[in-house]
Structure 1
Amino acid sequence: MIDFLEWSGAIAGLAGAFLLATHTRFSRYGWLAFLVANLALVGFALGIGRYGLLVQQLGFTVTTLLGLYRAGFALPFLRVRDRPLA
C-alpha cells in the first residue's frame, strides 16, 4: 500500500503540473490532480512516519484548495458571503 501511495502521488503530481503548464481549457483540472497527489502523499508520509513531509503536504493541500476555488470549482466550505463592512 505504501508503494501505491508513493507512486500514485508522484504520478498525479506530475500530471497536475503538466496540465497547469499547458495553459489550455483543461489546465484547471491540474488542481484536481494535485489534490489526488496531496492526499496520496499525506497517506504516504503517515505510513512511513515522516512528519516533515506530512506538514509540507498539508500546506500544499491548502494551496491546492485555493487553486481549486480560484479555478471555479465549487467548494462550499470556502464560500465567502458578501457582507458590507460596518
Structure 2
Amino acid sequence: MLLELVEWIGCATGLCGAALLALNNRYSGWGFVLFLLSNVAWIYFGLLTHATGMVVMQIGFTATSLMGVWRWMIVTR
C-alpha cells in the first residue's frame, strides 16, 4: 500500500511539475518544486524496490530540479 502511494505521488507531482513548466508563466518555477517532490518520492520508491538505476537517475534529476529552483525562484526575483 505504501509503495503504491509513493509511486502515485511521484507520478502526479512529476506530471504537474511538467505542466507548470510548459505554461511558461510566472508560476512555472513552482514546477521545479513539484519536480523536487517527485524526485524524493521516486528515490524512496527506488530504494524500497532496490531499483538502483532509478535512484541514480533521480539523484541527477534532483540536481537539475535544484538548478531550476535557483534560476526561476531565487535569481529572477
Q: Which structure dedicates a bigger proportion of its chain to helix? A: 2
Structure with the bigger RCO (C-alpha within 8 Å, sep 6+) is 2
In structure 1, how many angstroms separate the alpha carbons of the residues matched to 2:67 and 2:52? 23
What is residue 64 of structure 2 aligned with on the other side? 63
Structure 1: segments with no counterpart, 5+ residues: 75-86
TM-score, reference length from structure 1 = 0.82
Q: Which 4+ residue blocks in structure 1 deviate beyond 3 angstroms?
A: none
Q: Which has the larger radius of gyration?
A: 1
Structure 2: segments with no counterpart, 5+ residues: none
Identity in percent: 39
Equivalent pairs counted in the alignment come to 74
* 1:20 equivalenced with 2:12 (yes/no): no
TM-score, reference length from structure 2 = 0.91
What is residue 40 of structure 1 aligned with on the other side? 41
In structure 2, how many angstroms separate the alpha carbons of the residues matched to 1:65 and 1:11? 19
In structure 1, how many angstroms separate the alpha carbons of the residues matched to 2:31 and 2:18? 6
